[in-house]
A and B are shown apart, each in its own frame.
Chain A
Amino acid sequence: MSTVNVTVTVNGVERSAEVEPRTLLVYFLRDHLRLTGTHIGCDTSNCGACTVMLDGKIIKSCTLFAVQANGKSVKTVEGLAENGKLHPIQEGFKEEHGLQCGFCTPGMMLSALELLQKNPHPSEDEIRWGISGNLCRCTGYQNIVKAIQYAADKMAKGEA
């Protein structure tokens, strides 16, 4: 089977691998680059566990071929913390108990990141719409909403 060389800037670092064109981005990240923070839930474009950012926009990495990301940049959950310091969104999930099993959490946090970049002061309703592509089977969403509100407040203070 013929392969193609794919080079993607992942969390600021250029990474390459030889993959088949049919390799989905999520397998490229998990199997080829061993970045297993991004999860595979449904594998049918429904649950959002595989959410990552591609050139600054959230996408479902189970529904994009790795070769489509060639030359582009990807942010995964591993790229949220900086210099050993948790991102305010991560801190929010920790402080507000925004996770139980944690399976949905990496995708949830990337969706929260896009939401807060577009809308730094979202209402509860806007938060719920912002994470409507991410399913959580544990929390009932209440504490996830609180975690994102925590992050919004913290990030607003950082701005000031």
Chain B
Amino acid sequence: MIPPSFEYHAPGSLADAIGLLKQHGDEAKILSGGHSLVPLMKMRFAAPAHIVDINDIPGLDYLKEEGGHLRIGALVREADLEASAVIAAKFPLILDATKLIADPQVRNRATIAGNLAHGDPANDHPAVMLALDAELVIEGSGGERVVPITKFFVDTFETALASDEVLKEVRIPIPPAKSGGAYFKLERRVGDFAIVGVAAQVSLDGAGNIQSAGIGLTNVGPMPIKAEAAEASLAGKAPNDATLQQAGQLAADASKPVTDNRAPEDYKRAMVKELTIRALRRAVSRAEGGN
């Protein structure tokens, strides 16, 4: 399949990229990993007249801990996350999710920023970032702004990004001691998009009770979902079966799945409950120092 024609730009700086986006408005699209955009272009779901390839912009591939945050630059690929020592040590939730995204070839190209910017509720990072309370650093012709992840997803394939803005950095608070996370993804075959995915992150207090919890849901609604009632139900509680069961039920209640070629709606809702319980159980076990 041959994508529609376009004019190609490979700016050497973020400022030049933003200039091109401003100049061409809705006619332009950013190209990063290309693993959502190029397939869409081949199928004629997207036909941008201008492609602004940001892959050659230096200084956007950093992954570092700074000022109590993990800062992930726009050109960090899934494979970089997979290989990162900080991710392995402090963000098992991200590592779980990354390993289950597509396959090695795709992970060598696909970026976490593109995964979020695409606004696809079937993608895995949105739920992960909702569970981790990430912030997104966005730069456009009007300057820089920081948007909390809860304000980023606007509709299916629609985000808070304006046409002249670049998602420059994903910023995640470093979890306190005694924290853990896990991602559970039900898929038809390895590397496929989720039938249902659940991201869970917990922090325990000195007594081993849950201090705070984050829960994000993948592919069970028109947008990625933060299961807020389930999160709130866990605060201050001992992480026993009754507590986790209740959170699982609240997460299932928050989901809005539809029947499709992956699975019927009631099955998906039941799986949200079960995967929430499993993800929380593993998150708690990791917070306690286990696996």
Residues of A bordering B, CB below 8 Å = 1-2, 4, 20-22, 24, 27, 43-45, 48, 51, 57-60, 63-65, 67-68, 111, 114-115, 129-130, 132-134
Contacts and interface: CB of A to CB of B under 8 A. Distances in A.
Given A44-B39, A132-B190, A65 B106 contact: no
A72 B186 CA distance: 38
B210 to A, nearest CB: 33
24 contacts: A1-B5, A21-B8, A22-B5, A43-B42, A44-B1, A44-B39, A45-B35, A48-B103, A48-B105, A51-B105, A58-B105, A60-B106, A64-B34, A65-B34, A111-B104, A111-B105, A114-B104, A115-B104, A130-B104, A132-B103, A132-B190, A133-B103, A133-B106, A134-B103
State the majority secondary structure of interface residues on A.
mixed
Contacts of A132: 103-104, 190-191
B8 A133 contact: no
Contacts of B4: 22
A134 B102 CA distance: 11
B101 to A, nearest CB: 11
A67 B3 CA distance: 14
Given A68-B53, A68-B55, A59 B108 contact: yes
A88 to B, nearest CB: 20
Contacts of B109: 59, 63-64
Interface in B1-47: 1-8, 10, 31, 34-35, 38-39, 42
A27 to B, nearest CB: 8
A119 B281 CA distance: 32
B235 interface: no
